[in-house]
Structure 1
């Protein structure tokens, strides 16, 4: 998989287009919120065998000889007769939110039947009432195979409105050979020998959980005091120039070139980096790491809701999930796909089943936590403080 030029968990770079919905929700203004009984439109799935599916670039399997072909999507269309209009138009969570929020706020169709956004953004959709409840009776694979650790995030208890597309871990990557020692803890980032050689994520939603965990915080139940204590620590490290800079996905370049020795990192990216440099290691710290997801949701008034739900369930067939995991190398939200990969005749494919960054083992899972999201009330002041530290 090629090196990514962006972060799928894109940084929150100011309030921008999202101020209005957040502010409306915080002030209790009902215009933005859509009640559950007003979200469904006229579903044309039965008479119109199609659906519009929007995703991030490079986030699906492709044919090695023809990158325009997407085998798992083609298989779905062949099996069901449903044509999938697949677009890779999501390059930034906030940008995409700004694009479709005016229609959703005004109770209008968006032209999208299924989209993939980071869970912190999915939380915004759910809290605003802009994501439809899926019909789980028509999704037997989701009901049976969804990773138990991802089944009930705080923002969507029971996963009624969202389903993970892929998952991942925010941990620490470092060059063990160049550093000359192991990193086992978030606290290890602050050791003197890493002064000026550490990078952190610039995005508030991407950064905060791991840094809080370094202070022993249970990020499923963190508080405002926990947040500000974490900011105080980071601020001190910035003033001491211990932190080299704050990054998006360009941390991969810094680490590969040796400009930094340790950094916040995503598990899926490190698998790619290790292919070129086996000295790079990924660590789930002793204090824990954040298990996150990017999730599928059906926006309000989608014209092909049933077709979209069928596609979601298709990707929870372990055989299909295995092919997707083998291509994108993120944490697979379908643990049963591991057995499928393990049984492959291809040695490299079979080895993926033993990679804990795709299928975390029991010991690693004990240290993985799904963080509670930042509420709309908290976001305004928290973003202001974090962005001042980062320099945004």
Structure 2
């Protein structure tokens, strides 16, 4: 296996700040209240054998692309091996926007035109809660059963990962310019030191930001309460009032950190790996109090025409060789630990180095500081989003 690192704008950094539940408003405006679909209404006749194809919707820049052509090597390999063609669409630019796009079909028990989609786990929780996705048949997925990272196996929203499988994972932590700052950052509290006044940014998206910030207050984010959230907001509001926080950002923290306008920021691990290729002084730290481990997951929507084919494609990406090729391209936390050995034995020095990168394959010490936040329930979301959005100016 040979893989080459690509220094691309990260897909994760394209997430907008619409994690506030705006989709509920959109559905209400259409006069169609959100409706849970019963298990018996989720499937249709599977046409996988008659139609050897699969329709796959994903985020931009989230699968490997050949350096000289527009081919996608790992998808092409699946088609060669199985004879199943893949219609691959980079059409997901925001979780809520995509929810609104396919939601009307799912509410009305209709096909979405997609057999496989990738959304952030907080949005996957919404799909699972509404009964908008089908359980996968693990008999068709021996690689998933064998190789899925145990730390990602049992999220609160989908016990045993029956209806979702991680595509890639990542860590929300702190990025900073070690040379310009002139000191180390080890804890979230280090962001509030006087020498960072006006030179620090936080993420603007509620679901992307709140976990690490609450960990900085000593909260166990696997079981946080509304009081924990409001106490964290009070602290952040004080920092905003003192103009300590420069601003709240989406993907543009990358530009600010690279230019030196910002010295430290809340950031995603995969972005920083790419920044370090151009500036080795950029560091990423999982705070001593902990960092949030998140995933974007593969789901099979209700009424998918090619469910069996989709399940086979999911399993293809859990083959360690395939997972290694994808990890070498996207540089996020690989959900297949066995891919580490594939990269280590690649024979290419740069590729082999990825196997030792704890931001792709977290070691035991880092894993001990990572936690998966429980998701925000529908009942909580309206109140919490209102306060968060007011604070960040959305």
Query: What is aligned with 2:44?
Result: 41
CA RMSD of superposed structures (Å) = 1.7
| Distance apart, 1:7 and its partner CA | 2.6
Report 1:324-339 matches (<5 A): 324-339=326-341
Equivalent residue in structure 1 for 2:179, among 163, 177, 180: 177
**Is the 8 Å Cα contact of residues 199 and 247 (structure 1) preserved in structure 2?**
yes
| Distance apart, 1:331 and its partner CA | 0.4
Query: What is aligned with 1:197?
Result: 199
Query: What is aligned with 1:144?
Result: 146
Do residues 107 (structure 1) and 109 (structure 2) align?
yes
Query: Relative to structure 1, is the Cα distance of residues 361 and 373 closer, same or farther in structure 2, using a 3 angstrom cutoff?
Result: same
Query: What is aligned with 2:364?
Result: 362
| Distance apart, 1:20 and its partner CA | 5.9
Q: Deviations over 1:324-364 (max 9, x none)?
A: 00011000000000000000111100110000110001100
Report 1:83-122 matches (<5 A): 83-122=85-124
| Distance apart, 1:12 and its partner CA | 2.0
| Distance apart, 1:391 and its partner CA | 0.5
Query: What is aligned with 2:160?
Result: 158
Secondary structure in 1 aligned to 2:160? coil
Query: What is aligned with 2:55?
Result: 52
Query: What is aligned with 1:17?
Result: 23
**Is the 8 Å Cα contact of residues 54 and 115 (structure 2) preserved in structure 1?**
yes
Looking at structure 1, the residues matched to 26 and 11 of structure 2 have their Cα atoms a distance apart, in angstroms, of 29
Report 1:232-271 matches (<5 A): 232-271=234-273
Looking at structure 1, the residues matched to 172 and 368 of structure 2 have their Cα atoms a distance apart, in angstroms, of 15
Query: What is aligned with 2:3?
Result: none
Equivalent residue in structure 2 for 1:62, among 65, 78, 84: 65
Q: If the length of structure 1 is used for normalisation, what is the TM-score?
A: 0.96
| Distance apart, 1:11 and its partner CA | 2.0
Query: Relative to structure 1, is the Cα distance of residues 31 and 295 closer, same or farther in structure 2, using a 3 angstrom cutoff?
Result: closer
Give the number of equivalent residue pairs.
Answer: 387
Looking at structure 1, the residues matched to 27 and 122 of structure 2 have their Cα atoms a distance apart, in angstroms, of 15
| Distance apart, 1:31 and its partner CA | 6.3
Looking at structure 2, the residues matched to 4 and 140 of structure 1 have their Cα atoms a distance apart, in angstroms, of 30
| Distance apart, 1:6 and its partner CA | 7.0
Looking at structure 2, the residues matched to 179 and 260 of structure 1 have their Cα atoms a distance apart, in angstroms, of 10
| Distance apart, 1:19 and its partner CA | 3.0
Structure 1 unaligned runs (5+)?
24-28
Secondary structure in 1 aligned to 2:161? coil
Report 1:128-139 matches (<5 A): 128-139=130-141
**Is the 8 Å Cα contact of residues 53 and 112 (structure 1) preserved in structure 2?**
yes
Looking at structure 1, the residues matched to 299 and 356 of structure 2 have their Cα atoms a distance apart, in angstroms, of 30
| Distance apart, 1:150 and its partner CA | 0.4
Equivalent residue in structure 2 for 1:382, among 381, 384, 387: 384
Query: What is aligned with 1:26?
Result: none
Looking at structure 1, the residues matched to 238 and 202 of structure 2 have their Cα atoms a distance apart, in angstroms, of 14
Report 1:203-352 matches (<5 A): 203-352=205-354
Query: Relative to structure 1, is the Cα distance of residues 85 and 289 closer, same or farther in structure 2, using a 3 angstrom cutoff?
Result: same
Q: Deviations over 1:27-55 (max 9, x none)?
A: xx996100122111111001110010011
Query: Relative to structure 1, is the Cα distance of residues 214 and 191 closer, same or farther in structure 2, using a 3 angstrom cutoff?
Result: same
Looking at structure 2, the residues matched to 137 and 30 of structure 1 have their Cα atoms a distance apart, in angstroms, of 36
